[in-house]
């Protein structure tokens, strides 16, 4: 065996080794998902066995059928879509405006205000849950998707992401716009916003994922089953007084996850770019 | 068309005085160049005229309007930026159209003027492209088209050629001046740090340093009669040589005593230098005004070669007289010289400059 083939062999072995490690990690990360997928075709009896079994026997689609037999299932999907839609729209509108103001306008107290806003990131949501509840209650919007969405129409991390993005745009373009006749508002609509499409895409995807999967907020603020979002509805439907029937919930979660998975596959470019923007200059 | 007038304009950023009591008059249709090293306040001056910065003191006039408090849009100035600042999400057409759209020019009129401007700059084939699909030179034409389409009274250009490669820069230098000065006949204020651009393009040059205007004059004036050491050293390639020393009287003659060498000063300068006898002065000689000799001749002084740069048509010879300071001579003839060799350098007697060492001001 000469030197070159020896080196090629070592290289091949190394690649095999790396792939084995990566596959193992991928399997570890994927295993809950795989487990859910398999379990969704099992009976509750089999799914709750210990040690866990991996092949559905008997194979059943009863869990999915149960789901579609639920009268409110389409309603919950609509509610989730409405909730996520409102939040995405709100974040795109308000976070882009706030981010623009923090990045491009000069007003007294701007930096102090921005620091205060960032400090909000440190506050756990459980701290604000009760005050928020009281506010929404006084507004008469408890048990109302719109009332719940109101709480999340703007978001610190979205504002931060938009601000970073606007800061990364060249100053000279805004100077040129100013000379061409744009005040701050026209510059926002004609220049800043069209240039911010990648950042807006990232905000939309993040907020959609967060809203679609949200559990705690909807659980606390919504009361009537017909107003539930999908995650809350599912746990409501299959929670018995002493135990929870998990297999239909798992099936429901997989159905619920479908849009987010599709969204992720389609838009992961934007997600990654969003992270890159936030990691940019501060 | 308009005259631009700056009266005692001051602009500070925190503790830094970027523009320090600048007085400048740019005549109607004049091509004025603000020249200076980076950080000298020339771009800030331009931005003050554009309205992108507000002056802390002083007055800025365009024509007979005091524009200190007038919005940039209403000043009727157009600016071309160093990076061209094209709108990346708009086509060339939309870029050029944008200022007209913002000032609510009717659509047909807009179309006519965009096409006219594009044709004028030879970019009518590019109207449907996006800026990133254009070369640097094309982008610059679009930036110019966007500026001229507004038919402004004053054109402001901030280092417009510095992003182009050397060859294109020389070509655009000529074109730009022709376009703005000869064709459009617009008052133009042009910022650059490149003295060759300034010399070749300007009607007049305002040389700036540390926020102040050092001298305003035609290219010939600032080259031949620099007002101070800064201008003398900044304009001309390679820079002027400065010999520091004290002015001493030897009978009827004056000499510059550099400490190791006494340089004779021709009689023609005696009158203007009379009051400086016994004081520290600086003598300036342009590298082109020094001849290099291998044998001693009259009025030539010994020096030692410390380096040379052949440029093809000419040769830069670096020499020293005190083992410390590097002086340069530019010679056209081919000389057989070696490092460390003793040579004799002879200043051209009619091309000497003298400066007051204390103030740096020229003595004429």
Instruction: Judge contact between B10 and B55, C-beta under 8 A.
Output: yes
Residue that is written with structure tokens 């799914």 in the block:
A47
The per-residue pLDDT for B211 is 94
Beta bridge partners of B317: B308, B329
Q: What angle do CA B155, B157, B160 make, to 5 degrees?
A: 145
- Is residue B305 within a helix (H) or strand (E), and if so which, with residue range? strand B301-310
The per-residue pLDDT for B312 is 85
Of A178, A194, A195, the CB nearest to B72: A178
Mean pLDDT by 10 residues, chain B (364 residues): 90 93 95 94 95 94 93 91 92 96 94 93 93 91 92 92 86 88 91 93 95 95 95 93 93 88 90 91 95 90 91 90 90 83 92 93 92
Report the gap between the CA of B143 and the closest CA in chain A (Å). 10
Domains and their CATH numbers in chain B = 4-234 (3.40.50.300), 241-363 (2.40.50.140)
Tokens of B271: 């009158």
Using pLDDT thresholds of 50, 70 and 90, give the confidence band for residue A68.
confident
The per-residue pLDDT for B3 is 93
Instruction: Judge contact between B293 and B336, C-beta under 8 A.
Output: no
A175 chain-B contacts, CB cut-off 8 A: 47, 50, 52, 79, 81, 85
A19 to A7, A8, A22: CA distances (angstroms): 18, 16, 5
d(CA B80, CA A179): 10
pLDDT digits (tens, 9 = 90+) for A71-104: 888 899 999 999 999 999 999 999 999 999 999 9
Beta bridge partners of B257: B246, B262
Nearest CA in chain A to B89: A195
Backbone angles phi, psi at B232, to 5 degrees: -60, -40
Asked if B83's CB is within 8 angstroms of A170's CB, the reply is yes
Query: Which positions in chain B have a beta carbon within 8 angstroms of at least one beta carbon in chain A?
Result: 47, 50-52, 72-73, 77-79, 81-83, 85-89, 98-99, 102-103, 146, 150
Instruction: Judge contact between B91 and B127, C-beta under 8 A.
Output: yes
Indicate left, alpha or beta for A157 from its phi (over 0: left) and psi (-120 to 50: alpha): alpha
Burial class for A166, CB neighbours closer than 10 Å (0-12, 13-18, 19+) = buried
Please name which of B206, B289, B266 lies closest in space to residue B6, comparing C-alpha atoms. B206
Of A175, A190, A195, the CB nearest to B52: A175
Q: What's the CA dihedral at A142, A145, A147, A150 to 10 degrees?
A: 150
Second-level CATH architecture of A64-279 = Orthogonal Bundle (1.10)
- Which are the contacts of B74, defined by CB distance < 8 A and separation ≥ 6? none
CB interface of A with B, residues 162-181, below 8 Å: 170, 172-173, 175-181
d(CA B52, CA A84): 41
More confident residue, A242 or B172: B172
Report the gap between the CA of B85 and the closest CA in chain A (Å). 5
Asked if B98's CB is within 8 angstroms of A179's CB, the reply is no
Indicate left, alpha or beta for A57 from its phi (over 0: left) and psi (-120 to 50: alpha): beta
Asked if A175's CB is within 8 angstroms of B78's CB, the reply is no
Report the gap between the CA of B8 and the closest CA in chain A (Å). 24
Question: Which residues in chain A are classed under CATH 1.10.3720.10?
Answer: 64-279
Asked if A191's CB is within 8 angstroms of B103's CB, the reply is no
Cis? peptide before A51, omega within 30° of 0? yes
Measured between CB atoms, does A39 come within 8 Å of chain B?
no
d(CA A217, CA A211): 9
Residues B213-216: contacts with CB under 8 Å, at least 24 apart: B213/B22, B213/B23, B213/B24, B214/B36, B216/B24
The per-residue pLDDT for B35 is 96
Residue that is written with structure tokens 């979205």 in the block:
A158
Taking every pair of Cα atoms in chain B, the longest distance, rounded to a whole number of angstroms, is: 82
The per-residue pLDDT for A282 is 38
3-class secondary structure, B61: strand
A170 chain-B contacts, CB cut-off 8 A: 83, 85
Nearest CA in chain B to A194: B89
Complete DSSP assignment for B240-277: PEEEEEEEEEETTEEEEE-SS-EEEE-GGGHHHHGGGT
d(CA B202, CA B222): 11
Beta bridge partners of B57: B10
Tokens of B100: 């007209």
User: Which residue, among B46, B80, B90, B98, would best test binding to A if mutated, counting the most A CBs under 10 Å from its CB?
Assistant: B98
The per-residue pLDDT for A281 is 40
Using pLDDT thresholds of 50, 70 and 90, give the confidence band for residue A278.
low
Of B51, B83, B99, the CB nearest to A180: B99
- For residues A30-43, average pLDDT: 89
More confident residue, A3 or B159: B159
The per-residue pLDDT for A277 is 63
ipTM value = 0.83
Asked if A194's CB is within 8 angstroms of B98's CB, the reply is no
Q: What angle do CA A154, A155, A159 make, to 5 degrees?
A: 95
Q: How many CA atoms lie within 13 A of A232 on its CB side?
A: 25
Instruction: Judge contact between A142 and A221, C-beta under 8 A.
Output: yes
Report the gap between the CA of B126 and the closest CA in chain A (Å). 20
Cα A151 to chain centroid distance, Å, stands at 16
A186 chain-B contacts, CB cut-off 8 A: 102
Instruction: Judge contact between B259 and B265, C-beta under 8 A.
Output: no
Please name which of B254, B263, B249, B256 lies closest in space to residue B280, comparing C-alpha atoms. B256
- Is residue B46 within a helix (H) or strand (E), and if so which, with residue range? helix B42-50
- Which are the contacts of B288, defined by CB distance < 8 A and separation ≥ 6? B330
In this predicted structure, the answer to whether residue A216 has a pLDDT above a threshold of 70 is yes
Please name which of B74, B81, B5, B29 lies closest in space to residue B188, comparing C-alpha atoms. B29
Instruction: Judge contact between B2 and B151, C-beta under 8 A.
Output: no
Cα B273 to chain centroid distance, Å, stands at 29
Q: How many CA atoms lie within 13 A of B219 on its CB side?
A: 14
Q: What's the CA dihedral at A245, A249, A251, A256 to 10 degrees?
A: 170
- For residues A232-260, average pLDDT: 83
Q: Cβ–Cβ contacts within 10 Å for residue B68, how many?
A: 14
What's the mean per-residue pLDDT of chain A? 88
pTM (2 decimals)?
0.81
Q: What's the CA dihedral at A264, A266, A269, A271 to 10 degrees?
A: -30
d(CA A221, CA A211): 14
Beta bridge partners of B270: none
């Amino acid at each position: 065996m000469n030197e070159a083939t020896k080196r090629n062999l070592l290289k091949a072995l190394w690649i095999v080794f790396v792939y084995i490690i990566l596959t193992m990690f991928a399997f570890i990360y994927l295993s809950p998902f795989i487990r859910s997928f398999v379990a969704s075709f099992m009976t509750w009896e089999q799914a709750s066995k210990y040690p866990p079994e991996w092949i559905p026997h008997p194979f059943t689609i009863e869990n999915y059928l149960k789901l579609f037999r639920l009268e409110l299932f389409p309603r919950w999907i609509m509610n989730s879509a409405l909730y996520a839609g409102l939040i995405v729209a709100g974040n795109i509108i308000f976070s882009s405006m706030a981010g623009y103001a923090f990045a491009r306008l000069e007003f007294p107290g701007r930096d102090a205000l921005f620091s205060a806003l960032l400090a909000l990131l440190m506050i756990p949501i459980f701290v604000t849950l009760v005050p928020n509840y009281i506010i929404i209650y006084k507004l008469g919007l408890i048990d109302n998707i719109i009332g719940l969405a109101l709480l999340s129409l703007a978001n610190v991390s979205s504002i931060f992401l938009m601000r970073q993005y606007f800061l990364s745009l060249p100053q000279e373009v805004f100077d040129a716009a100013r000379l061409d006749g744009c005040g701050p508002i026209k510059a926002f609509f004609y220049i800043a916003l069209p240039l911010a499409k990648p950042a807006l895409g990232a905000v939309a995807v993040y907020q959609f994922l967060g809203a679609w999967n949200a559990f705690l907020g909807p659980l606390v603020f919504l009361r009537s089953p017909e107003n539930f979002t999908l995650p809350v509805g599912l746990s409501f439907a299959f929670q018995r007084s002493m135990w929870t029937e998990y297999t239909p919930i798992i099936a429901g979660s997989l159905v619920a996850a479908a849009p987010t998975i599709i969204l992720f596959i389609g838009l992961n470019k934007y997600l990654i770019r969003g992270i890159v923007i936030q990691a940019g200059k501060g | 068309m308009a005259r631009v007038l700056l009266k005692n304009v001051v602009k500070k950023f925190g503790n830094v005085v970027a523009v320090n009591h600048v007085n400048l008059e740019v005549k109607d249709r004049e091509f004025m160049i603000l020249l200076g090293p980076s950080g000298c306040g020339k771009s800030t001056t331009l931005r003050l005229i554009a309205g992108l910065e507000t002056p802390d003191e002083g007055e800025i006039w365009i024509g007979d309007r005091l524009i200190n408090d007038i919005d940039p849009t209403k000043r009727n100035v157009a600016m071309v930026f160093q990076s061209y600042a094209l709108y990346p999400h708009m086509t060339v057409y939309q870029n050029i159209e944008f200022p007209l759209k913002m000032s609510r020019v009717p659509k047909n009129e807009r179309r006519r003027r965009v096409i006219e401007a594009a044709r004028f700059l030879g970019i009518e084939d590019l109207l449907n492209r996006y800026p990133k699909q254009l070369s640097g030179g094309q982008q610059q034409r679009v930036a110019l088209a966007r500026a001229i389409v507004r038919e402004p009274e004053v054109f402001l250009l901030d280092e417009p050629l510095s992003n182009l490669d050397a060859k294109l820069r020389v070509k655009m230098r000529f074109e730009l001046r022709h376009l703005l000065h000869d064709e459009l006949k617009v008052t133009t204020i042009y910022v650059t740090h490149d003295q060759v651009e300034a010399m070749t393009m300007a009607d007049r040059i305002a040389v700036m340093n540390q926020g102040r205007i050092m001298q305003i004059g035609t290219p010939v004036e600032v080259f031949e009669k620099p007002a101070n050491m800064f201008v003398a050293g900044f304009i001309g390639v390679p820079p002027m040589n400065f010999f520091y020393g004290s002015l001493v009287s030897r009978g009827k003659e004056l000499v510059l005593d550099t400490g190791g060498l006494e340089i004779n000063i021709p009689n023609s300068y005696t009158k203007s230098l009379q009051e400086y006898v016994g004081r520290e002065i600086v003598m300036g000689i342009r590298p082109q005004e020094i001849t290099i000799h291998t044998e001693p001749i009259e009025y030539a002084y010994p020096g030692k070669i410390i380096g040379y740069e052949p440029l093809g048509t000419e040769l830069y010879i670096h020499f020293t007289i005190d083992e410390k300071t590097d002086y340069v001579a530019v010679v056209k003839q081919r000389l057989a010289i070696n490092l460390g060799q003793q040579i004799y350098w002879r200043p051209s007697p009619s091309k000497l400059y003298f400066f007051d060492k204390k103030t740096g001001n020229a003595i004429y």
